[in-house]
Structure 1
Amino acid sequence: MTEPTLQPSLPVNPRRPTVRFMLSHPAHAIALGFGSGLSPVAPGTVGTLWAWVVFLVLQPWMNDLRWSLLLAAGVVVGWWACTVTARNLATADPSAIVWDEILAFWAVLWLVMPAGWPAQLAAFLLFRLFDAVKRGPVGWADGLFKLKRGQPIGWAQGFGVLFDDVVAALLTLLVIALWRWL
């Protein structure tokens, strides 16, 4: 008698996100940064640039309470969106998911503003460096929610997508604070 094989809940091969995929579900549109994550080159950087532009557009209508509410809601909605999108792409942390960069960089800008162009650029470069290199605390955070072989993509992985960028944002803010202090 042969043992029954377990049917995977996700496709064996990961999917590549497309505009059609993004438009097929609201979670996909959010997680893919409303298209910025579809960039074939450096989607995390493109998503962070998109976040920067949107931050500057929203800034005249925002205050601390509104930013804190937007970021809190963005974490909850983003956790859901990143989980759903990762499952549907059959990849635990697809590079096309950029909602994590968007939220984290909004938090950085919110806390460093008002700042001139050079300080905003420094924040952007520091954040991208910490997020892309993933050394030290960011690497630790990135590894916390990795899947073990055979595990389905779940809520922990959706949270993990967001978590390492929060740590990158905190490190960015720490460096900026130390820079201003010196």
Structure 2
Amino acid sequence: MSDRKTLTSEQRHALLSTPAGWLACGFGSGLAPVAQGTFGSLAAILPWLLLRHLSLPINVLVIVIGFVIGVIACDIAGRSLGVDDHRSLVWDEFVGQWIALLPALLAPWWIVVAAFVLFRFFDVLKPWPIRWLDRHVKDGLGVMLDDVLAGAIAAIVLWLLMSALQRHAIIV
């Protein structure tokens, strides 16, 4: 059984040799030696740059599909590693980051940076109820749910910030 920090070379190979593992580890971004969640969140911005040009309903559909596929992929990958929520499994960061970026679909670049920072803040700090989900919901669903909630809270905070700035004519 592996701990939550280190991966053996066999485990790395197992992750990268299956579609579920490849997706669950964020196309390899979760294999960074440190700060795997941060690298996963940064990697999530790349496909989002393509998604941001699509409508809000299409973005939401992509997020829902990404969530469902992520539950399955993270469950399979977690079982192969012997750890429910190994730090190398970062697909949940992808989905959570995309949720946090929803208010930034038509916004200036610095809003994207703010969405990234807010998502990482809530994902790392894990205030209630995020922490409760992280501790009590297991398997692929548990891997995904806490980051979805962190992304939703980050999106709400970002939307409130953008609304306040718009009211004061600071951003368009």
TM-score by length of structure 2 reads 0.84
- Contiguous gaps of at least 5 residues in structure 1: 1-11, 146-155
Letter in 2 for 1:132: V
Percent identity over the alignment is 37
* C-alpha deviation, 1:50, in angstroms: 0.5
Q: Which of structures 1 and 2 has the bigger CA Rg? A: 1
* 1:27-38 matches, cutoff 5 A: 27-38=20-31
Distance (Å, rounded) in 2 between the aligned partners of 1:181 and 1:68: 21
Between Structure 1 and Structure 2, the one with more helix by share is 2
- Which of residues 67, 72, 94 in structure 1 aligns to 2:64? 72
Say if 1:17 and 1:89, in contact at 8 Å, map to a contact too: no
Over 3 Å counting, the alpha-carbon distance change for 1:140 and 1:180 in structure 2 is same
Task: Determine if the alignment matches structure 1 residue 120 to structure 2 residue 102.
Answer: no
Say if 2:52 and 2:106, in contact at 8 Å, map to a contact too: no
Letter in 2 for 1:16: L
Specify the alignment match of 1:59 in structure 2.
52
Letter in 2 for 1:127: F
Q: What secondary structure is seen at the aligned counterpart in 2 of 1:179?
A: helix
Task: Determine if the alignment matches structure 1 residue 161 to structure 2 residue 143.
Answer: yes
Say if 1:17 and 1:96, in contact at 8 Å, map to a contact too: no
Computed over aligned residues only, the root mean square deviation of the Cα atoms, in angstroms, reads 1.8
Task: Determine if the alignment matches structure 1 residue 90 to structure 2 residue 82.
Answer: yes
Distance (Å, rounded) in 2 between the aligned partners of 1:171 and 1:110: 11
- Contiguous gaps of at least 5 residues in structure 2: 165-172
- Which of residues 91, 105, 111 in structure 2 aligns to 1:99? 91
Aligned length: 160
Structure 1 runs of 4+ off > 3 angstroms? Answer: 12-15, 57-60
Say if 2:100 and 2:155, in contact at 8 Å, map to a contact too: yes
Letter in 2 for 1:55: W
Specify the alignment match of 2:7 in structure 1.
16
Q: What secondary structure is seen at the aligned counterpart in 2 of 1:163?
A: helix
